[in-house]
Amino acid sequence: MRYLTILLVCLGLMGMSKGHAWLDDRGCFRDLQVHFFEPLWVTQALSLHQIFQSQWDPINSKLQDRVRDVPTILKQRANRRGYSSPLENPFQPIAAGELLRQILLEMFTQVLNESNITNQSDIEEMFAYIEQQQRERIKACLGTTKLGK
């Protein structure tokens, strides 16, 4: 019984420290928020969907400008959900990833729409390509190769 108690306490401490690490602004989840739209991957995605090369730099610039707002938007939406925030301890990686994915996809869609790229199927394919390029980073951070489910 004593060993079981010690084991449960150790597991609880590991879980708490792991959850707390996610909330650290220097952690991997914060990195995903502000570095998701790597210009190389965005450019590759745009190229694969035959977006004019003259649009690549303006799209990348807009994404880099706007992605800085993601942490603030994420916290606001997480707190508006009406129940425990997936960002709080205990960190809920699947729910947090789903919320992050929703925000990033909305941002990507908005930037592309402003550039007169409006085919939602193409936009979602490009976003999926960008996400796929980061599968190892996402897995290391959230335990899954995709944001969300």
The pLDDT tens digits along the chain (149 residues) read 555 444 444 444 444 444 434 344 348 999 999 999 999 999 999 999 999 999 999 999 999 999 999 999 998 988 886 656 777 777 788 888 999 999 999 999 999 999 999 999 999 999 999 999 999 999 998 888 888 76
CA gyration radius, the chain = 18
The Cα–Cα gap between 65 and 79 comes to 24
The CA distances from residue 71 to 14, 32, 35, 87, 88, in Å, are 25, 10, 11, 11, 14
The domains of the chain are located at 24-77+90-142
| Amino acid occupying residue 69 | D
Judge whether 4 and 12 are in contact, CB under 8 Å.
no
Kindly give, in sequence order, each residue whose CB lies less than 8 Å from that of residue 59, ignoring residues fewer than 6 positions away.
Answer: 42, 46, 51, 111, 112, 115
Distance of CA 23 to the CA centre of its chain: 14
The Cα–Cα gap between 4 and 77 comes to 39
> How much is the pLDDT for 114?
98
The CA distances from residue 15 to 8, 9, 19, 120, 144, in Å, are 10, 10, 6, 39, 17
> Of how many residues is the chain composed?
149
SS3 of residue 83 by DSSP = coil
| Residue 37 burial (CB count, 10 A) | 22
